[in-house]
Amino acid sequence: MILRIGIFAALSLLAVAPARAAAAPAQPPVSAQAAEEALKEGLSLQVDGDVKEAIRQFDRAIQGNPKNGKAYLARGNAYAELGEDERAIKDYSEALRLDPKDGEAYRGRGDAYRRLGQRDRALKDYDAAIVLIPEDADIYLNRGTVYYTMEKYEFALRDYTQAILRNSEYADAYYNRGNTYMGMGNKERAIEDYNKALSLNGELVEAYYNRGTAYANLGQNDKAVEDYTKVIGAYPKAPEPYYNRGLAYFKQDEAEKAIEDYNEAIRLDPKDPEAIFNRGMAFAKIEKYDNAARDFTEVITILPKSGEAYGQRGLVRLRQGRDKEGAADIARAYQLDPNLKKKLQPLVDETKKAGEKK
């Protein structure tokens, strides 16, 4: 029981020259003054949320003054806002060609590379941005995120700490540093950072979820239940918090509550074998063996090579007095996973002794 954190054939075709489109009418020239006004208008439109019209204004600004790096920077930011990172990178690159010391362009291009998964390029741009605008906490946060995804936790920790030093009210930096501590196995420090993040932003639901996981890993299941309950209030249709709260209830010997949560997790994700398995364990704990056997059988249907499911069904069948079927399941479990014998055999022996006394 664990916590959760087509091919097409090519055809040879004869090429046909496309018809030539009529030449587009020449656009009237844009004066330098009009270009400046277009840039200002575009920035205002972007702030108001009309990003596409802002891009049209940035186009005019560039047409009137193709050497204005700020216009390329602005259009790159607009493309990035629309999720068009490749086009954004082209504009950021042109802005940097015109002004190699534009830290904002390095940061924007780094962000675009990060979103595209080009982590080495992102790191290189963030390094350059930090040299030029060293007090920008966002750059440290984003570079830390790249290091985190690379599992370079020491580097990520350093960057998140630098972000916090520059902005002591930066909830996201505390949250991300908490995640980094979790990655490093330091759950106590993670909880401290999640606490701080939530004190700054009580709507940061992800922090409740991850803090709940940290509490659960430390055996503080009552606190874990509280945090998962908050997450469920915000995301009632997400199966994961029900699953994890169910596990916390199970560890508190509240099997009925665990079953209720697993029922909901399974309703939201009917083919989740872990939730079905854990519900089976909860049924077995309160001696509802028919229900438990049914759950373990369903897990075996989904995962035919699950030695754990065979083993637990075998134990249930032994407790039901179905010795032959139980022994067959136990044998199958050991065949699928020989390491299970050390864990299951004492339970098998105990179950058989209890049966002999009846």
Could you report the per-residue pLDDT of 208-224, keeping only the tens digit for each? 999 999 999 999 999 99
Binning pLDDT at 50, 70 and 90, where does residue 113 land?
Answer: very high
Could you report the per-residue pLDDT of 287-317, keeping only the tens digit for each? 999 999 999 999 999 999 999 999 999 999 9
* 3-class secondary-structure state, position 153: helix
Among residues of the chain, what percentage have pLDDT more than 90?
89
Domain boundaries, the chain: 220-299, 305-358
| H/E element, 63 | helix 51-64
Q: What is the 3-state secondary structure (H, E, C) of 4-27?
A: CCCCCCCCCCCCCCCCCCCCCCCC
Binning pLDDT at 50, 70 and 90, where does residue 23 land?
Answer: very low
Asked if pLDDT for residue 5 goes beyond 60, the answer is no
Residues in CB range of 71: below 8 A, 6 or more apart:
35, 39, 58, 61, 62, 65
pLDDT value of position 329: 97
Q: What is the mean pLDDT of residues 252-280?
A: 97
* 3-class secondary-structure state, position 170: coil
Among residues of the chain, what percentage have pLDDT more than 70?
91
CATH number for the domain whose boundaries are 220-299 = 1.25.40.10
Q: What is the mean pLDDT of residues 241-252?
A: 97
